[in-house]
């Protein structure tokens, strides 16, 4: 199963955008990098997880974060 990848990168006018990989349009534009990362992280948590890739202002990859989908069947406490 292919995972979703979201890129957080700067725009030309000082804003930040969150964009799904291979998409023509940004999913959102934000004033700060942190807001864009939070937005992309929330989308990935709700959509089977994926990779969050953040670029710096110089265009180089600053960080990668794997977001896992929530476990639909978490382990139960068997001690009690």
pLDDT digits (tens, 9 = 90+) for 62-75: 999 999 877 778 88
- The boundaries of the domain holding residue 48 are 4-67
Tally of domains in the chain: 1
Measuring CA to CA, which residue among 20, 53, 57 is closest to residue 37?
53
Q: Is residue 33 part of a domain?
A: yes
pTM: 0.81
Q: Is residue 72 part of a domain?
A: no
The average pLDDT across 48-69 equals 92
Q: Is residue 74 part of a domain?
A: no
Residue 79 has pLDDT above 80, yes or no: no
Burial classification of residue 35, based on how many CB atoms lie within 10 Å of its CB (0-12 exposed, 13-18 middle, 19 or more buried): middle
Please tell me which residue, 44 or 80, carries the higher pLDDT value.
Answer: 44
Q: Is residue 46 part of a domain?
A: yes
Q: Is residue 78 part of a domain?
A: no
Q: Is residue 26 part of a domain?
A: yes
Q: Is residue 45 part of a domain?
A: yes
pLDDT digits (tens, 9 = 90+) for 2-50: 568 999 999 989 899 999 999 999 999 999 999 999 999 999 988 888 9
* Locus of tokens 């937005």: 39
């Amino acid at each position: 199963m292919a995972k979703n990848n979201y890129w957080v990168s700067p725009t030309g006018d000082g804003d930040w955008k969150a964009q799904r990989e291979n998409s023509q349009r940004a999913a959102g534009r934000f004033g700060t990098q942190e807001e864009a990362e939070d937005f992309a992280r929330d989308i990935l948590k709700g959509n089977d997880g994926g990779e969050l890739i953040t670029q710096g202002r110089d265009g180089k990859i600053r960080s990668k974060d794997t977001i896992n989908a929530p476990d639909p069947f978490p382990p139960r406490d068997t001690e009690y």
